Chain A
Amino acid sequence: MLKKYSGHPYIMWSLIFIVFPLLLVIYYSLVKASPETGKIIFSVEGYKTFAQPLYLKVFMKSIILAIEATVLCLIIGYPIAYIISTMQAKTQKIVALLLILPMWMNFLLRTYAWMAILKKNGFLNMFLEALGLPTVNLLFSDGAVLLGMVYNFLPFMVLPIYTVLSKIDKSVIEAAGDLGANSKTVLRKVVLPLSIPGVMSGITMVFMPAVSTFVISSLLGGGRSVLIGNLVEQQFLSVNNWNFGSAISVVLMVFILISMGLMKRYDAGEKGEMSLW
């Protein structure tokens, strides 16, 4: 009984608060106030506008940036998740909390603090100068944007991976060792595959919001580029073209859901059950 009805409250909730607003967005993307009569008419103008090279370029840039940030988070984050999982039980919980604590400080504050660190006359350069090393010019570069993105998304990659790693059945690892595997092989062939569910969640929680992030790029990147997030916000606020803004969002949704679906094919998944995509 639990299994059957456990999900029902959420199904109800999501229908009201996720699906209905989604339908609203799709509706907005397909209608526009006719310039002549002012009445609401069906229009795919938003989608057509988006198909132009200018906007597709923006779209690609956002996707690539998000992929880079996600990959970096994975490379940097997996080891730390593993390390935490090998700590004493008590320490593990504290370290996990300490990992996410910085994210409770306001995002703008943190980003401005990074600007104070990375700028020409900032703390990093002060530190380097004190050591007699050459100074760096990191602020307002693509590197600074990536750094900012990794900074803000790293805990969301680490935590799900860590929670899975922390409970990998030790006896499985011992068995592998008994069968002659050295620690590298154990890692590759046993631990890694078993941690995939956590990795998938981590990638989901990083990649998806990363695509629509733009504030980090505006601040740490010096506003030198425009991302899909900028575009959507402009359309909803400055330009008041909800038709275009919604069209962009729908395209984004479809694209990401499909690509996430494709990625899940690599997921070992439950035996004998094929995913929809």
Chain B
Amino acid sequence: MAMQDDGEEIDYVTFRAAGQLFGLPIARVQDVFKPSRMTRVPLSGPEFAGVLNLRGRIVTAIDLSHRLDLPSRAEGKQPMAIGIESGGESFGLLVETVGEVLKLADREREPNPVNLDRKLARVSAGVFRLDGELLVVLDVDRVLDLGIEAAA
């Protein structure tokens, strides 16, 4: 961290889920796609939107709003998906809208505010104060770390 004091800039893919603005380092994003023909997985939790075929890969779609206990997306609104890879598997984070790519200096990233929602804080790798809005940097690995919570 200290090494990055020179103000190294990182590109963030930004998106919204339940109105909240999130950012993900572009290096972690494989692709952005419109999910189609999703197959529900019976008996899976509400955070699992289903599985789908993306160019021959099977992608497990995770509904970010459900995952973070945020209010769900408006019904009937077509979600977007942020494709990420973890442990050799493909995942898609379902979000409401995908915004522009922002270049942000790492030194401006601040630790989580103490009063940040607990669920949100757990998956947040810090926040950026943008004009009139907070951008929460997602820690993808923690978003995908469903097992521990399921067992607890």
A binds B: no
